[in-house]
Structure 1
Amino acid sequence: MLNPNVVAANILKNPTVHHGLALLARVFLAYIFIVAGWGKIAGYDATVAYMQAMDVPGGLLPLTILVELGGGLAILFGFQTRIMALALAGFSIVTALLFHSGAEDAINLMKNVAMAGGFVALALLGAGRFSIDHVIEK
């Protein structure tokens, strides 16, 4: 009898599949951060007001944009992927606790925790062949 886990592992060991899925994982994880970072630029004043309403200094917004947009782009292109993935995992947990800890926002809390898990997995996996990291490490 075939063990489906072994079958999947054998498929994922194929280098093209492995590195293609690593790229896909980076795209999926980066997407929300790039969109959110860009949205904060477009709605700068409203975002400052929201942060201040949550007792977070609005002066942290430029750093937030840098982390979200810059970190998202770094993940997308596979640049310094392991360290950026760990940084975005931490950022996801911190923002979950600061902005999504209420019972009415449980889904966003869970989303942030799930993203943190994905980033930890990416830190373990690395960027894969289709990345700036791969070119630099050669």
Structure 2
Amino acid sequence: MFNPNVVVKNLVQGSQSDAFISLIARVLMAYIFIMAGWGKITAYNATVGYMESMGVPGMMLPLTILVEFGGGLALLFGFQARLAALGLAGFSLITAFLFHGGAEDAINFMKNMAMTGGLLFLMLHGAGKFSMDNMLEKPSV
């Protein structure tokens, strides 16, 4: 019997395909965090004002930038990717409720929840072959 799931699995399960798809997935997950962190750096005062208007102390912005920008870069390069993915998953979940909990912002709430799921999957499976983690974890000869 024809099973499309098995067909797709057979197409992407080779080691090179797996490595390439893992890299693409990691880059796409990293992109939103790097851009968001950079936006907060370049619009620092406006971001402080927004955070404070949402009841979050502005003094939390440096930590927010570190998590977003630093965590995004860690994902991009696959460096401590499991830890970065776990931290960003927690961050995405918290910010979903703090900043996107209202009915008028449901799409961003759902986006954050979806990112949380993707990041937890990355935490579970790791950065893949094309990553700093892979290079560092290889036993030296």
Cα distance in structure 2, aligned partners of 1:126 and 1:12: 17
The answer to whether the aligner puts 1:9 opposite 2:9 as a matched pair is yes
Runs of 4 or more above 2 Å deviation: none
- C-alpha separation in 1, matches of 2:37 and 2:5: 37
Letter in 2 for 1:89: A
TM-superposed deviation, 1:8:
1.4
Identity %: 63
The unaligned stretches of length 5 or more in structure 1 are none
TM-score by length of 2: 0.96
The CA distance in 2 between the partners of 1:33 and 1:121, in whole Å, is: 17
Which amino acid letter does the alignment assign opposite residue 94 of structure 2? Answer: V
| C-alpha distance after superposition, 1:25-82 (max 9, x if no partner) | 0011000100000000000000000000000000000000000000000000000111
RMSD of Structure 2 on Structure 1 (CA): 0.7
> Residue in 2 aligned with 1:105?
105
- Please give the alpha-carbon distance, in whole angstroms, between the structure 2 residues aligned to 1:61 and 1:94: 14
2:131 maps to amino acid: S
Matched, 1:43 2:43: yes
Number of aligned residue pairs: give it. Answer: 138
Q: What CA distance in whole angstroms lies between the structure 1 residues aligned with 2:106 and 2:86?
A: 23
Instruction: List runs of 5+ in structure 2 lacking aligned partners.
Output: none
Give the deviation of 1:2 after TM superposition: 2.4
Question: What does residue 126 of structure 2 align with?
Answer: 126
TM-score by length of 1: 0.98
